[in-house]
């Protein structure tokens, strides 16, 4: 049986588009450092905008590259609605 390790982190905003590559690099390093199989991202203070969605989608891809599942917690109604509108709600909140 494979051991499962969960990491948790907080993403606060606003997030600038130029912040995303560094954010993904730090997230990938965190996954690798802990050999994480699951990650929980608290987005309770994240602004509901396109850059936030882009950041979350890229974090999801970074997690997939490391065979890690990403779950988003603390989502505001506005951010949840924006993710649903873009077809990402189940993908990121699933």
d(CA 13, CA 17): 11
Residues 34/65, Cβ–Cβ less than 8 Å: no
pTM of the model: 0.89
Every domain of the chain and the residues it spans: 6-93
Q: 6-93 falls under which CATH superfamily?
A: STAS domain (3.30.750.24)
**Site of tokens 């203070």:** 45
**Secondary structure E strands in 1-94:** 6-10, 38-42, 69-73
Residues 32-89 pLDDT 10s:
999 999 999 999 989 999 999 999 999 999 999 999 999 999 999 999 888 888 887 7
d(CA 11, CA 65): 20
Residues 82/56, Cβ–Cβ less than 8 Å: no
């Amino acid at each position: 049986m494979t051991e499962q390790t969960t990491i948790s982190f907080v993403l606060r905003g606003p997030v600038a588009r130029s912040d995303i590559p560094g954010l993904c690099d730090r997230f990938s390093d965190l996954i690798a450092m802990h050999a994480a199989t699951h990650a929980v991202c608290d987005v309770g203070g994240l602004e509901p905008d396109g850059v936030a969605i882009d950041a979350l989608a890229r974090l999801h891809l970074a997690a997939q590259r490391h065979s890690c599942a990403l779950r988003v917690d603390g989502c505001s109604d506005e951010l949840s609605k924006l993710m649903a509108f873009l077809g990402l709600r189940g993908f990121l909140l699933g």
